[in-house]
Structures are given as C-alpha cells and as structure tokens.
Amino acid sequence: MSDKDPQAMTGMLTAILQPWHDSVDDPAKVQQEVLHRLLKGYAQTDYGAQHGAAHIETIADYRRAFPVATYEDYKPVIERVMAGEVSLLLSEEPVGWAITRGTTEGESKFIPMTPTDLMMRISAGLISTSATLLLSPVVRITFGFVGEDWDCQNADLWTRFLNSWTTDSH
C-alpha cells in the first residue's frame, strides 16, 4: 500500500471501523454480544462463579446478579490477586497493574491489566483514530480522502450514528 493510495487506506480504515459500523446498525445486539463475551471470562473466576455468570442471559440478569460495588469492596480480593490468587477475580494472568494517582480519598488504586484488557484498549484506540481519519475534513483534505463516493458513504454512517444517539436514551 502506497502512502499516496487513498483507496487502500480507506479499505483498511473501514475494516478497522467495522465493529463501530455494527454497533451503529444495532447497538442493543452489540451490547448483548459484549456482555456475553465478558460473562464468558467472568464465569472462569471464583467471583463470577459465585454470582452465576455462566447462567446470565440478559443485561437485567447481570444487574441482578452482580451488585454495584466500589473499589473498597474489591480491595481485599484485589490484594489476594496481587499475591497470586489470580482466579479469584481474573480469567487470565495480569501482565501488569495500572496504579491511579490517588486523588480520590488520597489512596492509589491498583487495577489489573490483562492481555485481553490491553487488546481492548488498543482496539478502542484504533477505532477512535480511524474514525478521526475517516470523518475529519482537515485530515481528509490533507491526505486526499475526498470524493463523492467517500463523502456519501461516511456521511451516511455519521448520520446513522448521530440518529442512534438522538433516538435512544443515553
């Protein structure tokens, strides 16, 4: 792919954005898919097993089974995970720990970073960057991503996205 080939770049960026396209087309379906993917991992943990993660089918079931909790509620379990009891809370070994600055309540919090978590963060970054490349007029003009087909395709996508936010309750 040449850096002067907008069509090749368009194809690559569009493929990266496919999850976003899907979520715009049917947000409820994608949310349900994400919930099931998360629950599959939760079911492999002691915490998830205690809350019946393997048997949850709907978002309402999830809300009933997993109570809202604060970091303080999880802190004893997180400390045990940090000491090596990974399966209490995680379905895979952490590759590291994110540490907050402790501005809330003055104490730092430790957040496990797993390979899956890192891949989700990378994917979100790629999607965000790709959306900027596809939708920003300045970027599109600078790099030559202009033309009737390009504009119509992405204007339609952007319109559907905005409509989903104005017609759904957010």
- Residue 59 within a domain: yes
Task: Measure the CA–CA gap between 74 and 96, rounded to whole angstroms.
Answer: 18
CA dist 63 → 44, 60, 87 (Å) = 19, 5, 22
Judged against a pLDDT cut of 90, whether residue 156 lies above it is answered with: no
- Residue 69 tokens, joined: 């909790």
Helix spans in the chain (H): 6-16, 18-25, 27-42, 46-50, 59-65, 71-82, 115-135, 137-143, 148-167
Q: Which domain holds residue 34?
A: 26-68
- Residue 158 within a domain: no
Number of domains comprising the chain: 1
- Residue 53 within a domain: yes
- Residue 41 within a domain: yes
pLDDT digits (tens, 9 = 90+) for 33-86: 889 999 999 999 999 999 999 999 999 999 999 999 999 999 999 999 999 999
Task: Measure the CA–CA gap between 88 and 91, rounded to whole angstroms.
Answer: 8
Band (28; pLDDT cuts 50, 70, 90): confident
- Residue 61 within a domain: yes
- Residue 127 within a domain: no
Phi, psi of 144 (to 5 degrees): 85, 20
Place of tokens 């368009």: 10
- Residue 42 within a domain: yes
Q: Residue 90: exposed, middle, or buried by beta-carbon count in 10 A (0-12, 13-18, 19+)?
A: buried
